[in-house]
Amino acid sequence: MRKIIFVLFGLVIVTGFLLPIEFVKEASAEGPSIDIHIPLPLPPPPPRIFIKPPEIIVIPGSPVFVAPHPDVDIFFYDDYWWSPRGDRWYRSRDYNGHWKEMDGRHLPDFVRHAPRNYRTVYKHEHRIPYGQWKKQRNHGEKVKYKKKAESKHEERREDRREEQKQDKHGHGRGHK
């Protein structure tokens, strides 16, 4: 019996160097007892849960996408993947990796209000293969950027036309 207690005590001492442990010694009618309190770490970030790239569902009327999974909610919005775990949220650039815990104040409203019952509500929505979705998304970003650049170019062109009109009527640059 002493040998078992000695071994257990040794394990507790060794573990004490690795984890913060709080010992409370109590006396009871049955004899002395020891309570060990080990502070539990935060819940781990979402694991890598997809064996292959996920299919994507567009949430109608929202800029949020969802990667349906039976166990974990994973949403995509504004170049990030978002996943809740208990009362904490995690964010990653990749659907399958390097999750970082986020303060709730930095959670986008679109993600915060994304429907959690999407598994039933959008059960029959069209699912887009990840590769196709990524190409469309990248193409959409390029088109959006191109349109923005064209718009600025068109504005500059309009400004030049306006200046030329003023020059023809003698009201342009250089007149006093």
By the 8 A CB rule, do 77 and 65 touch? Answer: yes
- Confidence bin at 21 (pLDDT 50/70/90): very low
- Confidence bin at 109 (pLDDT 50/70/90): very high
Cβ-proximal residues to 50 (8 Å cutoff; 6+ apart), any chain: 67, 69, 95, 96
Give the type of residue at 76. F
In whole angstroms, give the CA distance from residue 124 to residue 60: 12
Classify burial at 60, counting beta carbons within 10 Å of its beta carbon; exposed 0-12, middle 13-18, buried 19 or more: exposed
pLDDT of 121 > 60? The answer is yes
Give the tokens for residue 78: 């504004």
Closest residue by Cα to residue 80 from 62, 61, 99 = 99
Mean pLDDT, rounded, for 25-49: 63
In whole angstroms, give the CA distance from residue 45 to residue 90: 7
Residue 79: what pLDDT?
A: 92
Residue 71: what pLDDT?
A: 78
Q: Mean of the per-residue pLDDT values for the chain?
A: 73
Secondary structure element (H or E) that encloses residue 119, with its range = helix 118-121
* Tens digit of each residue's pLDDT (9 = 90 or more) over 124-173: 888 999 999 989 887 655 444 444 445 555 666 676 777 777 766 655 55
Mean pLDDT, rounded, for 95-112: 88
